[in-house]
Amino acid sequence: MVYTPLTQVFNSRKRLYTRNSRLLCKLAFLEYNSFIMKDIIRHNFVFIAGIIATAVIIIGGVYLFGNNGSTKPNGKQISNDILVPKGSNITSGIVNGKYLPADSSAQLTLVEFGDYQCPACGAYSPLTKQLITEFSGKINYVFRGFSFIGPESLKSAEAADCASDQNKFWEYHDYLYTHQNGENKGTFADVNLKSFANILGMDSKTFDKCLDSGKYKNQVDNSTNDGKLAGVNSTPSFFINGVKMENIPGSYDEFKKLIQNAMNKSPIVQGTPTTAYHGHFDIKVYLNDTRVNLGLAKYQSKEPKELDPYIHLHDGNGNLVHLHKTETTLNQFFNSLKMNFTENCFILDGGKKSCNSESSSLKMYVNGVANTQYQNYVPQDLDRILISFGPVNDKNLTTQINSVTDLSCIYSLRCPERGKPPSENCVGGVGTDCTD
């Protein structure tokens, strides 16, 4: 059988989100903030799981800490009580089009975190179905919700859990992914979610009562919180026997190989992100509701005198930052502009300080989600980053978040339907992809 490369699957999508040229919805964050999540990019986070009979293999240790009984992960091994809590939806495969229940003899547990509005999650969904069909009885597949794109992400995740009451979780799960049509535009409004249940042959009164009552609201919130504890920073995110896949596979064959290696108890070996690549992210900085103009000539890099060879602005564009090396931090970027950025202060190149006080605070949002890594954050391809200083309860935050441009998708060639980027002068030094 010939498997369709994931890149082809994505090219059929309305929009692509990638990380280091991998096809996935990027979301780097430490703190979930539902108030700001409106109208921001959504990952498909939703791997809600049912009762699992097999334990995730734990090779390394974890540290315990108080948080609803969950353990905080230490290193790459994630505790089973975080990844597969009681009540999770789980299947051991598909046979003749029917989802199988969990199998205690399964060799491997695959956990996914996703959001039903996330285009990348929708594109990966056929691949995971293909995997659990080919490896039926050998894999316990768990889907956990990571619902952050907006209110319709939350309600669709609740609806999927309501469907589980009638043993229709997986059918409803698939229906949601195959009927994506924009983010928070009414596709997953309550009336439509109820209609989906009727189409799938469920008892409408039972389903409607479940959805209207918010029966699974807390469960949906807890699933997202578990994802944060597990270190989810992009969607979809996958865990094989408790080990997070740092680089999402780019094809079905690559995905299958990772599964086979794990079954053979071979080390899960993935390609290390190269230090020579060309990524992009969008950025805006507001100080007391005034935008810092990063398009000024003094902030722009020109060959051969780049302000920083690995992370810089050029061509007069102050909204788009070019990356030529992985693991480059925001601190490195702002230092190259002779600015200083910490969790407490933002200091412009001229020395003007904007520092936390009782009435004002510095905030950072990555892809619309509050992030507390500040200067230590490592920007990823397609990120949209806002840094804002102003009142503690700044009413302009939503407007500022929405003002962050979305040019990186074009420059990284991930949304060809939006056109091609302008020709760029390759700016970068040794160790980048701009050496010719």
Q: What is the SS3 assignment for 348?
A: coil
Q: Give the domain CATH number at 139.
A: 3.40.30.10
pLDDT at 357 over 50: yes
Identify the domain boundary among 263, 290, 320: 263
Same-domain pairing of 252 and 288: no
More confident residue, 292 or 73: 292
In a domain, 170, yes or no: no
Closest CA to 356 of 342, 340, 370, 345: 345
Same-domain pairing of 258 and 285: no
pLDDT > 90: what percent of the chain? 55
Q: How many whole angstroms separate alpha carbon 196 and alpha carbon 402?
A: 31
So what's the pLDDT on residue 58? 24
So what's the pLDDT on residue 296? 96
In a domain, 167, yes or no: no
Q: The domain containing residue 146 runs over which residues?
A: 6-150+214-263
Same-domain pairing of 76 and 131: yes
Q: What is the mean pLDDT of residues 185-212?
A: 96
Confidence of residue 325 (pLDDT cuts 50, 70, 90): confident
So what's the pLDDT on residue 425? 54
More confident residue, 52 or 102: 102
The position carrying tokens 């469920």 is: 202
Same-domain pairing of 330 and 402: yes
Confidence of residue 77 (pLDDT cuts 50, 70, 90): confident
The dihedral through the CA atoms of 127, 132, 135, 141 has a sign that is positive
Closest CA to 36 of 425, 415, 400, 428: 400
Same-domain pairing of 225 and 100: yes
What is the average pLDDT value for the chain, to the nearest integer? 79
Q: Which two tokens stand for residue 33?
A: 């903030």
The dihedral through the CA atoms of 423, 426, 432, 436 has a sign that is positive
DSSP string for 64-84:
E--STT-EE-BTTB--HHHHS
Least confident range from 33-47, 132-146, 358-372: namely 33-47
In a domain, 185, yes or no: no
More confident residue, 436 or 212: 212
Identify the domain boundary among 236, 263, 290: 263
So what's the pLDDT on residue 304? 67
Q: Which two tokens stand for residue 282?
A: 């969008």
Q: What is the mean pLDDT of residues 135-144?
A: 94
* Cis amide linkage into residue 422, ω under 30° from 0: no
Same-domain pairing of 143 and 250: yes
Instruction: Supply the angle between the helices 169-178 and 190-199 in degrees, to the nearest 10.
Output: 120
DSSP summary character for residue 47: E
In a domain, 191, yes or no: no
So what's the pLDDT on residue 53? 29
Alpha carbon 285 to its chain's center: 22
Same-domain pairing of 73 and 104: yes
Q: How many whole angstroms separate alpha carbon 355 and alpha carbon 337?
A: 19
In a domain, 87, yes or no: yes
Confidence of residue 61 (pLDDT cuts 50, 70, 90): very low
So what's the pLDDT on residue 54? 28
Identify the domain boundary among 230, 263, 296: 263
pLDDT at 393 over 50: yes
Calculated CA dihedral for residues 420, 426, 427, 432, nearest 10 degrees: 100
Number of domains observed in the structure of the chain: 2
So what's the pLDDT on residue 15? 36
Same-domain pairing of 25 and 139: yes
Same-domain pairing of 99 and 231: yes
More confident residue, 150 or 13: 150
In a domain, 325, yes or no: yes
**pTM score of the predicted model:** 0.50
Same-domain pairing of 232 and 378: no
Q: How many whole angstroms separate alpha carbon 112 and alpha carbon 29?
A: 17
In a domain, 367, yes or no: yes
Least confident range from 81-85, 168-172, 192-196, 387-391: namely 81-85
Phi-psi group of 213: left, alpha or beta (phi > 0 → left; psi -120 to 50 → alpha; rest → beta): alpha
Q: How many whole angstroms separate alpha carbon 245 and alpha carbon 228?
A: 15
In a domain, 189, yes or no: no
Same-domain pairing of 95 and 221: yes
Exposed, middle or buried by CB within 10 Å (0-12, 13-18, 19+), for 32? middle
Same-domain pairing of 254 and 283: no
Beta strands in 121-223 (DSSP E): 139-145
CA angle (52, 56, 59) in 5-degree steps:
170
Alpha carbon 282 to its chain's center: 16
